[in-house]
Structure 1
């Protein structure tokens, strides 16, 4: 690995020298600013649609499963600040902001401004209009599915803006249907292809959600205080039915129910300490209580799986940013206390079944120190150097008693070369260290799949070195971006066999080193130059190739869960004279493969077509008619089940599950007020 690191550093040094030699005076090292006139031709309804139109920019959601603040944030700011909470995605938050509230959007490039980039090369900063009055929006939606399923939604938002004090209130209640499940077959075949079981199968899934949020901002002691709070009740459901046709008629009924209650609160305080220094303090607390009950019953018996957990996280982070000339230096510290109390149980025909490591309590105390320096080396070249040092102590009690201490260095170096105003080349080398998923410490049972997995207390986080090159070309309101990266992974976290009391179980564990290559391309292309006024085409594609050594067979294979290809094309056509906007998207088929001890599972989602038409009779009303999954595409799961450990055992059977949720249509009505 040390040789890899040296090669990467030499590449960065060589690129920096070449860029400096080629640099010429006068290039703009900052990002452009897009005011409202840039978006007028496309009639966007909300801030999400506006950000999606920015040339050279792709929205990246933060990883909300990451504990702590670093790494959990996405690449979009609102009035210069990231959302403090983790429950709502960036897309959800941006879609709540009406386009009329957006004054402009700034594109921020690493090394050119005094912002915490959180490792991103680009940030979008959505600047809201200070209206000084009450404004908001009411939205109602209904979607109709096959088989009588429906998904209503109602939400309301109100903003009281008194210039120096702003209150945002939001509430919503809705039902969502998982369109990757539905109705179809679930058949089993022997190794020679002969049928073992033929079943008409149904598994409609969805969730009912009620949520309320509050955000408040006011001046305080020469700075600005932000407070946020969220309450959410989410109830997932799945109703499962087998109608066995062969070898003998039979019926099996099942259900899955899960209730998750989330409470979240946070505060952020920022204050200028003179003309060259800024202080920022962030604190948050989040708790999630989850109860899941799965049932399955047939003429031959019944089973009940009970999974309960209480998770919590408390974070405190402080950073100081200093500017001197074109150089920005940021340093700070973050501390977090995380906990999980998980208790799982399985009962078959009234008798408890022992699950390995099913009662576990985990506590983590984590601290991180970080420092970043960024600035312009010359008018064309920007550099960013950063390092983070993370320390944590994990304690497990219950079925497993274990204490573990971890510490990691995570350096990063990025160079950006802008030889002309319309093109940029970036090089990145960094080390990342993953976080252990507390759920992997706990054993669990799946009645739907008929599997039992063991918890693994002796997990280590995986780590990787990443080398990445990105080329960005902008043309008017359009752009083309190409990125290639290679990752060298150590202690890969994947599936492996564990033996407990003489029985082999599936578990999550470290399986050694691996490598991953990624190719990514993105296109935003307004077609006005070709005579198609108001038409914008977008295309995104990501291809992955990974190689790891299977701990069960010893063969080389891809990393479990890696998608070989993801691709999507979309278009919008705006006709301002008709107050109309319509468009569609097509997501190409994708396949995900998972490797377990006695099973290989492949999930394939076929290509899907969505269309919409949006009508704006005036600035306050929006009517949106949409149709999704118009290709009635199937979600196919293929499971190869072996008689024992793969590689040493024969194929017991192949299970083929094909489900369709069907085409569905809906109508959304929005009414804005105030502002």
Structure 2
């Protein structure tokens, strides 16, 4: 029997496993409900692990860096609503919710009349059980790294629930270590392979973070009001050291420090307007102040880079949802004001160096209007149509004065076919428009790489048309999902040369049309059907192939920053009789390439293995021992540096940097209290 036939047979056996009674499909396949009993055999410790077990569902965090609210929202609701804030990720919020607090999770499919899908085909709604008057959890963690580094963490969360008014408080202080940096070599070689410079190199990186959040909920005027606030202090650090051994001994030291302070507040109000309408109002404000100081010193020279930025965002959004009969209609509008004030400076050997467009203030006033309508065409077929219109006005002052106005239509059409209760096919056609990164308007220097980039005031957002087909097959408590999409991109934002004062700089800009093909596959496979009780295997794969015309060489090449392959496989094994849970995951090697004006930079992270074992002697205590990067995998950066613009210049040298952070282990202790 061939290997492929064996895999097909095992999948068929797994598919024959009956669906647990805890997972109930709603009418028309629009929703499924998974109560606490569905998760009993897997013993998840928090809502994040529970969401990861939902058949056919993959968590999308959203992007907190996206301006406005629409593009930043993820695909998980908590008690029917998304968090109003943007700094805290969905993953972090879900990990703070103990599994005992989750009453059930609803898997909502596109076409629902009661929820803002935000363009997603699936939403997970985590419905919380009523807590006791006071409940919460305390967590302590210590991770031990190579070279004596430590990663301590202390967190505390408390919920006060009284007469419909719920207050959630959370605070944490911790140090995170970047395990993609560490200790190794950084060597340079000529085009014929001869060594030009050999050096031992160290670049350990991390961040010290303190954060406090508050969330409050209460009934108000027949609806529900939610308030949230966040304060975060984040101090990144990197200590850099070269020990050059060839061609002559030399020592270079450096440091990178960045201090970011974030304040955020938000509100969300929902109210039913009669039997067929729901109103939702969202408002938020966020401010981030950042100071970054980089230094590099050798026996003969010194450099200092000083980057300071203040960014703010104010958002107001209103949506009205109408549901009558088979129709679900949503209309709404969103407005946002975003401001970035950035000041960058470079000093070499005590003298300032001119940075193109280093002092810039960017302000954006943006509005978006949207409408979505969906209805079942028959018992198995649902159609959804949507349209968004976005307009914005960008103004730049400082080293350059420029005002531009932008406007875009963004239509979307989705067709959902459910030929059988356990199979779904989704077809999607949509247009998307990207957002400009305000940081790309500002010139900056990197001492670590020895490069200067220019700001580009003439940037336009890229846009694309996407067509996508997704097949979802559910079997028992497992699922297999396969998606294929093609994207036709206009005005691709990538790297291009910019000339300032007669000097060619690398900058972010529009390089023309491009195309991207993506295939995604996801498997969630409980092995109970083949005798491995309590074992769940998950696997995820994303393959991309993009093609664009390089502005430096005129040749076709991949899109900068695209990962050709991302793949991960994980296994968990729950043994309730022993109050034990263990598992591990392996992330396959991945490579990211950036095609700059005078260099090509490729970052490769080798495959990594993580393992854990978790013991819960009772409902209140949890002990988790973990080991990460057990393969001691290297992070390799290869830079091909040219004498001038690529395509017109010869290769000056190749730089090879190989860093290892080492294996590390840790222990997490959690203690729950209250009801």
Note the C-alpha offset of 1:603: 0.3
How far residue 326 of structure 1 moved from its aligned partner, in angstroms, is 1.5
Counting only pairs closer than 5 Å after superposition, residues 255-334 of structure 1 correspond to structure 2 as 255-334=255-334
Taking the aligned partners of 1:163 and 1:602, their CA distance within structure 2 comes to 57
SS at match of 2:638: strand
Q: Structure 2: which 5+ runs fail to align?
A: 1-25
Show the counterpart of 1:18: none
Q: Which residue does the alignment assign to 1:374? A: 374
Using the alignment, how far apart are the partners of 1:130 and 1:617 within structure 2? Answer: 24
- Say whether the 8 Å CA contact 1:344–1:358 is kept in structure 2: yes
SS in structure 2 at match of 1:91: helix
Q: Where does residue 658 of structure 1 map in the other structure?
A: 658
Pairing 1:545–2:513 present? no
In 2, the alpha carbon distance for the partners of 1:498 and 1:247 equals: 34
The answer to whether residue 132 in structure 2 is matched with residue 103 in structure 1 is: no
1:61 Cα offset (Å): 1.0
Is 1:209 the counterpart of 2:209 in the alignment?
Answer: yes
Corresponding residue for 1:186?
186
Alignment correspondent of 2:619: 619
2:54 equivalent in structure 1: 54
Mean alpha-carbon deviation: is it higher for 464-473 or for 370-379?
A: 370-379
* Counterparts of 2:600 and 2:360, CA distance in 1: 28
Give yes or no for the alignment of 1:517 onto 2:517. Answer: yes
Structure 1 distance, partners of 2:119, 2:96, is: 26
Whether the 8 Å CA contact 1:36–1:102 is kept in 2: the answer is: yes
Q: Aligned partners of 1:163 and 1:209: how far apart in 2?
A: 35
Cα displacement (A) at 1:114: 1.6
Displacement after TM superposition at 1:112 (Å): 3.1
Q: Which residue is equivalent to 1:84?
A: 84
Question: Does 2:462 match 1:471?
Answer: no
Task: Give distance in 2, aligned partners of 1:585 and 1:270.
Answer: 40
Q: What is the Cα deviation at residue 27 of structure 1?
A: 7.1
2:672 is the counterpart of 1:668: no
Q: Which moved more, 1:49-58 or 1:129-138?
A: 129-138
Q: In the TM superposition, what are the counterparts of 1:105-254 in structure 2 within 5 Å?
A: 105-254=105-254
Whether the 8 Å CA contact 2:547–2:557 is kept in 1: the answer is yes
Distance 1:485 1:101 in 2: 38
Q: CA deviation at 1:378?
A: 1.2
Match of 1:570 in 2: 570
Map of 1:5 onto structure 2: none
Q: Where do 1:240-639 residues align within 5 Å?
A: 240-639=240-639
Query: Which TM-score applies when normalising by structure 2?
Result: 0.96
**1: distance between equivalents of 2:357 and 2:37?**
59
Structural mapping, 1:18-97, within 5 Å: 28-97=28-97
375-384 vs 632-641, which deviates more? 375-384
Does structure 2 retain, via aligned residues, the 8 Å contact 1:29–1:381? no
Structure 2 partner of 1:16: none
Alignment coverage as a number of residue pairs: 650
- For residue 374 of structure 1, report the CA deviation from its aligned partner: 1.2
| Equivalent-residue separation in structure 2 for 1:81 and 1:635 (angstroms) | 39
Instruction: Name the SS for the 2:70 alignment partner.
Output: coil
Q: Is the 8 A contact 1:483 1:521 kept in 2?
A: yes
Q: Which runs of 5+ in 1 are unaligned?
A: 1-25
Residue 18 of structure 2 corresponds to none
Q: Conserved in 1, the CA contact under 8 Å of 2:132 and 2:674?
A: no
What is the match of residue 23 of structure 2?
none
What is the deviation of 1:131?
2.3
TM-score (norm 1): 0.96
SS in structure 2 of the partner of residue 560 of structure 1 = coil
- Give 1:7's aligned residue: none
CA apart distance, 1:214: 0.3
Deviation at 1:163, TM superposition (A): 4.4
> In 2, distance between residues paired with 1:126 and 1:293?
42
Q: Quote the Cα distance in structure 1 between the aligned partners of 2:163 and 2:247.
A: 72
CA distance in 2, matches of 1:575, 1:343: 56
Q: CA deviation at 1:382?
A: 1.1
Q: Secondary structure at the match of 1:270?
A: strand
Within 2, Cα distance between the matches of 1:190 and 1:483?
44
SS at match of 1:293: strand
Instruction: Determine if contact 2:454/2:507 at 8 Å carries over to the other structure.
Output: yes
CA drift at 1:162: 1.7
RMSD, aligned CA: 0.8
The aligned residue for residue 13 of structure 1 is: none
Residues 113 and 329 of structure 2 are in contact (CA less than 8 Å); yes or no, is this contact kept in structure 1? Answer: no
Q: Distance in 1 between matches of 2:142 and 2:564?
A: 35
Deviation at 1:246, TM superposition (A): 0.3
